[in-house]
Amino acid sequence: MRLWLTALLAVIARENLRFVKQRGRFLAALVRPLVWLLVFAAGFRAALGISIIPPYQTYITYEVYIVPGLIGMIQLFNGMQSSLSLVYDQEMGSMRLLLTSPLPRWWLLFSKLLAGVIVSIVQVAVFLGIAWIYGIRMAPLGYLAVLPALVLSGMMLGALGLLISSTVRQLENFAGVMNFVIFPMFFLSSALYPLWKMKESSLLLFRICAFNPFTHAVELIRFALYGKLDTVALGVVALCFVLFMAAALWGYDPARALSRQRR
């Protein structure tokens, strides 16, 4: 058990050290959602024709509404960024050394996943602090209740990143794959606009958004910030995490990788 804990702490420390050294990554993680919050919110609000949104038996401003979606954006990009480092580690050979350690492969990948989630939560905390200074504030209980939601949604999105990284062997290919995953998941969700608005525009797009796992991650975070629990979103996010993680473990199976190399 001590060896397992040592490995977990080592992976977390390595990921956080890498994050601290990559200041551009931290700034990019904050600038992206802040631009959406401070600049594009007014434009989207005018384009959608809404200034207040009435879900959950209350009225909230559009800026407050998109905060959970932008938190999801931070976690989505961070999950893909962590996966990018895995692709790099595979090219350099360090990933092979990690997976050949005496510890179970699932524990090593889980440690990597948890390390990325911790980094994303730090980014989210800074983003919420800036939003609070800007005047976009949630109930005090919401800031505490959102923590387990952030952990679960971060694990799900990180597991998706692990799955993608298990299928990509070169850094050059990963950027293209990210574009085909991140942007459709983000825009075809409830991150920027309510699903009822999407349903008014297109029933097909509404169904795609409702099927999107990222939508449920955003809704889980949104309800948690309001001090509520969306049981459907919780179940979908938990199920997707299990499926993505299982597929990632299969993708990182050394026997499968050796068989592919022989071909």
Contact 81, 181 (CB under 8 A): no
Q: How many Å apart are CA 9 and CA 20, to the nearest integer?
A: 16
* Digit-coded pLDDT (tens) for 67-98: 898 999 999 988 887 777 676 666 655 555 56
Q: Which amino acid is at 219?
A: E
* Digit-coded pLDDT (tens) for 146-155: 999 999 999 9
Question: pLDDT exceeding 70 applies to what percent of the chain?
Answer: 73
- Residues recorded for the chain: 263
- Which range, of 106-110, 118-122, 142-146, 151-155, averages the lowest pLDDT? 106-110
